[in-house]
């Protein structure tokens, strides 16, 4: 059954593989599933046709026959359950992979997003000089806990899984910046993710979509 995903036309991330369609592309590449893309221009995000796919008018979405999904974590979970390559066979190991998927989207990514909010949306506020270090410290603490658990392991729990797709993409939002750079094992973990052939294919596809829509606009 053909799979179609939505992504930004003229992606805000300028082809750096940070917009959340990258998560879905990477998961599909790991699972060896081809997909089509529907690139949504900024003007169409909140129109009814796209809200049919995602009530919040956001990307990414996923269509497979009459199944329509939004929410990147849920899409990765579906892809991991539907196809081979992203989940361990053992039931307990699979439960732990799902646990780590939730940890990536609900424990780790939000503290990183709060740093972005502080930097890009609150930098002109009088209280930002006080709040920004608190927000960074919260992220630092979460990353310290993650680094302590990861130790010298290659992946979060045994073999690479869907959880690593979500966690690496969450950490990539801080690439080259503190506090991520304070944790060499997490930097190496991100680099291991980026070295995977499936990541590289997904990244190239996302960049190609950006270049094509930029050239056309």
Q: Give the residues lining the site for ligand GTB (CB under 6 A).
A: 12-13, 18-20, 45, 57-60, 71-73
Structure tokens at 21: 């369609």
Cβ 76 to ligand GTB shortest distance, Å: 9
Tell me the C-alpha distance between 207 and 63, whole Å.
Answer: 21
Cβ 20 to ligand GTB shortest distance, Å: 4
CB atoms within 10 A of CB 96: 17
Tell me the C-alpha distance between 215 and 87, whole Å.
Answer: 38
Measuring CA to CA, which residue among 101, 28, 17 is closest to residue 7? 17
Nearer to ligand GTB, 19 or 146 (CB): 19
Cβ 8 to ligand GTB shortest distance, Å: 7
Nearer to ligand GTB, 140 or 172 (CB): 172
Q: Would residue 203 be called left, alpha or beta, if left means φ above 0 and alpha means ψ between -120 and 50 degrees? A: alpha
Nearer to ligand GTB, 183 or 210 (CB): 210
SS3 5: strand
Nearer to ligand GTB, 31 or 88 (CB): 31
Nearest-CB residue for ligand GTB: 58
Cβ 69 to ligand GTB shortest distance, Å: 10
């Amino acid at each position: 059954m053909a799979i179609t995903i939505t992504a930004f036309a003229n992606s805000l991330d300028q082809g750096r593989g940070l917009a959340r369609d990258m998560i879905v592309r990477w998961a599909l590449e790991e699972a060896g599933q081809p997909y089509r893309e529907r690139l949504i221009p900024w003007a169409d995000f909140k129109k009814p046709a796209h809200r049919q796919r995602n009530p919040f008018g956001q990307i990414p979405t996923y269509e497979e026959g009459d199944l329509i999904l939004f929410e990147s974590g849920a899409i990765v979970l579906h892809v991991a359950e539907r196809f081979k390559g992203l989940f361990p066979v053992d039931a307990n190991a699979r439960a732990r992979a799902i646990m780590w998927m939730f940890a990536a989207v609900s424990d780790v990514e939000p503290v990183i997003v709060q740093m972005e909010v502080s930097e890009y949306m609150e930098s002109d506020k009088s209280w930002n000089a006080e709040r920004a270090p608190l927000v960074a410290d919260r992220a630092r603490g979460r990353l310290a806990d993650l680094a302590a658990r990861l130790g010298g392991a290659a992946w979060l729990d045994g073999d690479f899984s869907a959880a690593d797709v979500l966690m690496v993409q969450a950490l990539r939002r801080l690439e080259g910046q503190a506090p991520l750079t304070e944790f060499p094992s997490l930097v190496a973990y991100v680099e291991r993710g980026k070295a995977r052939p499936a990541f590289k294919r997904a990244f190239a596809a996302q960049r190609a979509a950006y270049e094509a829509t930029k050239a056309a606009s």
